[in-house]
Amino acid sequence: MSEKDKMLAGELYDANYDEELINERLKNKDRCYEYNNIKPSNIEERTRVLDEILGKHKNSFYIEPPFYCDYGYNIEVGENFYSNHNLVILDGNKVIFGDNVFIAPNCSFYTAGHPLEYEQRNKGLEYAKPIRVGNNVWIGGNVVVLPGVTIGDNVVIGAGSIVTKDIPSNVVAVGNPCRIIKEI
């Protein structure tokens, strides 16, 4: 099994010395650099480069630069998606956003994690667990979503939250760690 196969399967893998993963990251980081340096008024060019970065998207979506991600091909964006400035997605595994998702500035989605045991961690091993965000979700500024989290439909995540566990549909959740404070 290749390191990429292990990564996508959520198993421990080594991204630091695997030539395939290194080359894919570098290629995508060049695309992100290109995207982040296109004039704001050149919407057609920005759309073209985002189309090359993202694995899958629907028609109506927009990401304000700067935007950073590792591979790009693991990111799926639904209809009517909007992200404000400084979106970071560490997409060693799938990151899937539903329709009508709005993300405030300075938000991060991390599929990558590291072993608790220092021996494995010191060898450069890591894992990646998928993140899923449902439909009709609003994520406030400075939110961090950790590996393996699913956020349901019709959810509001309050600013500054760190989402460490799944959030069910139809709630407002906030805090560190993020927890439900109100049903919608």
Return the bridge partners of 108, or none. 88, 144
- Annotation marks residue 57 as catalytic: no
Please count the other Cβ atoms lying within 10 Å of the Cβ belonging to residue 33.
Answer: 12
Structure tokens at 105: 């500035």
Q: Which of 114, 129, 132, 179 is catalytic?
A: 114
Catalytic residues: 114
